[in-house]
Amino acid sequence: MSRKVLGLDIRSDSLCAVLVKGSLRESRIAASLTVPIEAAGDESGGLPAAIEAVKAAMDLQNADCVVSVPASLFSCRNVFVPFGNSKKIRMVLPYELEPHLPYPADEMLVDFAILDGSEDRSETELLTVAMERQRLAPVLAALAAVKIEPERVTLSGFAAAAWIGRNIEPDQTALCLDIDETSGALFVVAGSRVRLIRTFPLPPDPAARGRAIRSHIRLTMGALNEIPGSPKPPAAIFLTGSGIAGMNIEALADALPIELKPADLTRLLAVPHDDDAGTWDPLQMDGALALVLAEIEGLESLNVYRSQFPGRKIISRHRENLIRTGVLAAAVLVLMFASVLIQSSLLSSRVADLDQQIAAVFREAFPDAKKVADPYQQMQINMQELKKNAALPGEALSTLSSIDVLKNISDSIPAEIQVVLDRMVIGPEAILISGTTAGFNAVDEIKGHLERISEFKKVTISSANMDRTGKEVNFQLKVDL
């Protein structure tokens, strides 16, 4: 089943959009676009105009949407709770974080990821993110203006770090650095998942930005070495984000104690793109692409926004098709009901005709009957009465069973006569007996003995022939009752 997903990576100065068409075979980049966000008087700046430009440039019909906003809007912490049940954690987490944050619990949007348990097995380590509702409200309003409701909202760079974590060795550690013009974020990836997030502001001057980034990287690596039970030192830093404009990346890489290399998810995850998908810049667009792939593949992600019930979204998206299908289904049901009524009427008419024919046969067979209520039942009763009153031939034999007839025949034939009875057919007026004996004289003797049975009126030799061996005679007797 095909699916279109739009990824919007919202930065402080730009909006990166990537549209991917996913199917069972592969996911392909259908369109990509980077739009600058101009400053404006409202809180959302020029974001509505940038989103309008994306909508005008891409075919977004029936497309799902996933969004990331600058990591600097989030407060990220690792906390420990005394239980591991997700429902309980979600209920108490805002109040656990409230003493450490400058805003009340009911004004926070919070999500978490469960990490490995601590050394004390009674505690569970959580990676948590929190942001103020009012900071997300302008973004949601700008999206709603073009009738877009996101499936999830997360922080920039997290999805890319999660994909990088899935594509390194489980025992390796890596840093993922995501930067834009005014802020940056460092994601510590170990055990195939993001374990620590640090966000920090950055100066607008490129040279000063590079120095600040080096300082934060060294500070993070030093902190990792001091944390008990922390993963082993990272082997590389993967770079994403659009904030490298004007920076000397080579000088930054030379000043770092570990390797710095740009992340390219299209190469890492082997994602093809259409020829008309637009110019592709991995550093700028990896964040939006990672969002889309995480949504298509169901990758676990931090999400501070819960969209409306999926059923409502499906109904609103396919309203016309559902109405058309409902009308056709109603028409089919009406036709089925009419067909049942017609068949029932035809069957009732047929039953009435058969009842009339049965009644006619009954009147013809029993003209003396005065009243015909249930002709079939009445005919059965009258037939039983006729059988009782009729004097049929062979009536005397009806009281004899087959075993009694066999006993009488056996008792009447002397033991010295060697005879084998092969077949005996008992009818209402006669009995046919077939067998084998030693000679023709024996056949006559058997006939004579059977004539002495009181129930037998007459015994006739129907046939008597020598068999092929010439030693025995095959015979058949007919006994009249």
Q: Domains of the chain: which residue ranges?
A: 3-317, 323-389, 400-480
pLDDT at 112: 94
pLDDT at 225: 78
How far apart are alpha carbons 455 and 402 in whole angstroms? 13
How far apart are alpha carbons 6 and 445 in whole angstroms? 109
pLDDT at 84: 83
| Nearest partner of 28 among 289, 232, 236, 406, judged by Cα | 289
pTM, whole model, 2 decimals? 0.65
Residues whose CB is less than 8 angstroms from the CB of residue 89 and which lie 6 or more positions away in sequence, other chains included = 81, 83, 112, 114, 124, 126
pLDDT at 118: 53
CATH number (3.30.420.380, 1.10.3470.10, 3.10.180.10, 3.10.129.10) of 3-317 reads 3.30.420.380
pLDDT at 395: 45
pLDDT at 394: 45
Within 10 angstroms of residue 413's Cβ, the number of other Cβ atoms is 17
Containing H/E element for 196? strand 193-201
Rounded to 10 degrees, the C-alpha dihedral 287/293/298/304 comes to: 30
Q: What is the mean pLDDT of the chain?
A: 85
Q: Phi/psi zone of residue 152: left (φ > 0), alpha (ψ -120 to 50 degrees), beta?
A: beta
pLDDT at 398: 47
- Asked if the domains at 3-317 and 400-480 fall in one CATH topology, the answer is no
User: Under CATH, which architecture does the 400-480 domain have?
Assistant: 2-Layer Sandwich (3.30)
Within 10 angstroms of residue 235's Cβ, the number of other Cβ atoms is 13
Per-residue pLDDT 10s for the chain (481 aa) are 578 999 999 998 899 999 999 887 888 999 999 999 886 544 455 899 999 999 999 999 889 999 999 999 999 999 988 888 889 999 999 988 988 888 888 899 999 999 875 555 678 889 999 999 999 999 999 999 998 989 999 999 999 999 999 998 888 899 999 998 889 999 999 888 899 999 999 998 888 988 999 999 999 888 887 776 677 788 899 999 888 888 888 888 888 889 999 988 998 888 898 878 778 888 889 999 999 999 998 888 899 997 654 555 555 556 677 788 888 999 999 999 999 999 999 999 888 888 888 888 877 777 777 777 787 788 788 777 777 765 444 444 445 677 888 888 888 888 888 888 888 888 878 888 998 998 888 888 888 888 888 888 888 988 888 888 888 889 899 888 8
Q: Which residues pair with 27 in a beta bridge?
A: 22
